[in-house]
Amino acid sequence: MNKLQLERMKNDNGFIAALDQSGGSTPKALAIYGISKEAYADDAEMFELVHDMRSRIMKSPAFTKERILGAILFEKTMDSKVDGKYSADYLWETKGILPILKVDKGLLDLENGVQLMKPIPNLDALLIHAKERHIFGTKMRSVIKEANEIGIKAIIDQQFEIGKVIAAAGLVPILEPEIDIHMKDKKAAEVILKQEILEHLKTLDANCLVMFKLTLPDADNFYEEIIKHPNVVRTVALSGGYSRKESNEKLARNPKLIASFSRALTEGLNVKQSEAEFDTMLDESIQSIYDASIK
């Protein structure tokens, strides 16, 4: 593990940019950016277009280490280049931003009120490849849709089981048990989730370091115990469908919780914007999210 990168993630101000839309969410991300499905003939063209979008964001003068700690990448992005460098090398060597890899392969069908992750085939080989590409950490997402104790325990069991494998490989895993913001009993689910996380953290060796990416909670400062836990490098928040304005307002009421926004980060960006317009919009977005992350 790169100790300089670890200290930066643990102690520096800033937030994590989520640029990891995968196959299922890519068409929607491109549509919001102003590129319709008619603009590409197949998946190869689609991924090329979304890489162009991500590259434009990464190369923008607004995208700086002073405000952004890390960026989460899709696997195809990790193996693509920005200005002649592999994406992770461009982020760290050119920008001073930590590269993080999305490793999950999507979600299983709903069971016990939750969607577990699909199996991750060849995880060991992927982690070796990620280290070859100079990746700092990983991210994997599950979804909670009901306050179901059995389902939530199953999600945390799975997240920690795979997280320990990733940590043993020398990477820092971000565990993301997302709570659907539209569910009726969100507060109850948050209580169950926090208790499960705290119980599972007791099982970790002192040198096993993890991060969490959690839905913005209804109760302010709700995840303080997790944020302060010695095994937790950093806890970040997902926007989960909230607008950037609402996400920032909620985030600012949670000290030490920092952002890891995707849709809220790219809100307002459009393929037809001039470079000046694009950079100005991205700069305003990044500044607002940064301000909310350091309060």
| Catalytic positions, written as ranges | 176, 213
| Chain centroid offset of residue 197 CA | 18
Phi, psi dihedral angles at 76 (to 5 degrees): -65, -30
> What is the 3-class SS of 165-233, one letter each residue?
HHHHCCCEEEEEEEECCCCCCHHHHHHHHHHHHHHHHCCCCCCCCEEEEEECCCCCCCCHHHHCCCCEE
Contact 250, 186 (CB under 8 A): no
Q: What is the DSSP letter of 118?
A: P
| Cross-strand bridge partners of residue 238 | 215
Encoding tokens for residue 27?
Answer: 């068409």
